[in-house]
């Protein structure tokens, strides 16, 4: 079996992480949050994108961890960074002027225009059904990065007709909104889920299913979406994880235990 051999057994989360990692081009600068984005970015760096610049909002620019960090302030990020800067500097000097190519975001709710909620779900703002952590760096990452990659599990709770709170703007209410709002970054270029890949329609900005992961049907993807999900004419099935991608990903996941012991 060669490194490029397609594997036959993987989890939906592994497929999602691999698909997200493939979106990251070598030599670009990527603003990374903890969890799936960090795992995918480190997978990319360990496979096809060795010169990917990882930027963590704790102030670590160009971090090169050899294990998965357990938080955005993990000491291994500072130890391996090209530069450690203050938090105001990360946002003012690096993110705000558009120096960062890709922002990697998760979502508790996502709508058809890629708007993201990580603040409150249900009820109203002052008495929510579920209080989520809030904005963090996301609103300005969504506004100012060259483009945004969203990584999120696809289900009816998350893929909603309307988000209960706009924490981070995707395409607002449709074409032209980002320009009207003065948002200088390009917005969500792609949404990677455990079922497939969604991309904004060039004319309507509406998220459209363009790829399914192997073994997933379009009916499954549509059933897991809270709006009438548009499907691209040339809907394709993405490549399964290669043996190398899976081996590196599993080795990275195993390093989380090392991090705990340190």
Partner 1 sequence: MAKLVSLTDGVAHLVRDGDVVALEGFTHLIPFAAGHEIIRQGRQDLTLVRMTPDVIYDQLIGAGCARRLVFSWGGNPGVGSLHRFRDAVQHAWPRPLELEEHSHAGMANRYVAGASGLPFAVLRGYTGTDLPGHTTNIRPITCPFTGETLTAVPALRPDVTVVHAQRADRNGNVQMWGITGVQKEAVLAAHRSLVTVEEIVDELEPVPGQVVLPGWAVTAVAEVPGGAHPSYAHGYSVRDNDFYRDWDAVSRHRDTFRAWLDEHVHKAGAAA
Catalytic annotation, pick one of 4, 14, 57, 179: 57
Work out how close the CB of 247 gets to partner 1 at its nearest, in angstroms, rounded to a whole number.
24
Residues within window 44-83 making contact with partner 1, judged by CB under 8 A = 57-60, 70-75, 77-78
Query: Given the complex with partner 1, which of 87 and 236 has the nearer CB atom?
Result: 87
* SS3 (DSSP) at 38: helix
CB 152 within 8 A of CB 116: no
Select 83 or 236, whichever has its Cβ closest to partner 1. Answer: 83
* 243 touching partner 1, by CB under 8 A: no
What are phi and psi for residue 175, nearest 5 degrees?
-55, 135
Q: Binding residues for partner 1, how many (CB under 8 A)?
A: 54
Angstrom distance (rounded) from CA 190 to CA 151: 9
Residue 177 interacting with partner 1 (CB under 8 A): yes
Tokens of 194: 């455990």
User: Which residue in 1, 8, 182, 203 binds partner 1 (CB under 8 A)?
Assistant: 182
Residue with tokens 């497929």: 15
Q: Applying CB under 8 A, does 125 fall inside the site for partner 1?
A: yes
CB of 161 to partner 1, least distance (A): 16
The single residue listed with the structure tokens 């499954």 is 220
Write the binding mask 221 to 240 for partner 1: x where contact by CB under 8 A, - elsewhere.
--------------------
Q: How far apart are CA 42 and CA 245, in angstroms?
A: 11
The CA–CA distances, whole Å, from 217 to 109, 196, 250 equal 22, 9, 26
Q: What are the tokens at 68? A: 């998965």
Closest separation in Å from C-beta 7 to partner 1: 28
Q: Applying CB under 8 A, which of residues 15, 41, 95, 195 lies at the interface with partner 1?
A: 95
Question: Among this protein's residues, is 206 annotated catalytic?
Answer: no
CB of residue 172 to partner 1, shortest distance in Å = 6
Maximum CA extent, the chain? 57
Minimum Å gap between C-beta 260 and partner 1 is 5
Cα(199)–Cα(163) distance, integer angstroms: 18
Could you give the angle at the alpha carbon of 18 between the alpha carbons of 13 and 22, nearest 5°? 150
Whole-number Å distance between alpha carbons of 230 and 112: 9
Q: x/- binding map, residues 131-170, to partner 1, per CB under 8 A?
A: xxxxxxxxxx--xx--------------------xxxxx-
- What span, in angstroms and rounded, lies between the C-alpha atoms of 93 and 83? 13
Q: Which residue from 26, 50, 51, 87 is in contact with partner 1, where contact means CB under 8 A?
A: 87
Shortest distance in whole angstroms from residue 213 CB to partner 1 = 26
Q: Which of 46, 64, 53, 51 is nearest to 31 (CA)?
A: 53
For 95, the 3-state DSSP assignment is helix
Residues that bind partner 1 (CB under 8 A): 34-35, 57-60, 70-75, 77-78, 84, 86-88, 91-92, 95-96, 119, 125, 127-140, 143-144, 165-169, 172, 177, 181-184, 259-260, 262
Catalytic site positions: 57
């Amino acid at each position: 079996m060669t490194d490029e051999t397609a594997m036959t057994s993987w989890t939906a989360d592994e497929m999602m992480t691999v698909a997200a990692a493939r979106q990251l081009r070598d030599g670009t600068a990527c603003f990374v949050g903890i969890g799936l984005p960090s795992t995918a970015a480190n997978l990319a760096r360990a496979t096809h994108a060795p010169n990917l610049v990882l930027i963590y909002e704790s102030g670590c620019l160009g971090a090169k961890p050899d294990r998965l960090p357990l938080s955005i302030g993990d000491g291994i990020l500072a130890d391996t960074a090209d530069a450690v800067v203050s938090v105001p500097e990360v946002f003012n000097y690096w993110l705000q002027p558009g120096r960062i190519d890709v922002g990697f975001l998760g979502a508790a709710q996502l709508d058809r225009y890629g708007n993201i909620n990580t603040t409150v779900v249900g009820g109203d703002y002052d008495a929510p059904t579920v209080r989520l952590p809030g904005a963090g760096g996301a609103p300005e990452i969504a506004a100012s990065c060259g483009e945004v990659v969203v990584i999120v599990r696809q289900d009816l709770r998350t893929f909603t007709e309307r988000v209960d709170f706009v924490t981070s703007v995707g395409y607002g209410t449709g074409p032209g909104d980002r320009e009207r709002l003065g948002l200088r970054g390009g917005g969500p270029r792609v949404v990677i889920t455990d079922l497939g890949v969604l991309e904004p329609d060039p004319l309507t900005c509406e998220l459209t299913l363009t790829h399914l992961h192997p073994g997933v049907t379009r009916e499954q993807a549509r059933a897991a979406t809270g709006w009438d999900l548009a499907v691209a004419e040339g809907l394709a099935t993405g490549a399964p994880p290669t043996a190398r991608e899976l081996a590196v990903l599993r080795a990275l996941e195993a390093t989380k235990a090392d991090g705990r012991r340190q």
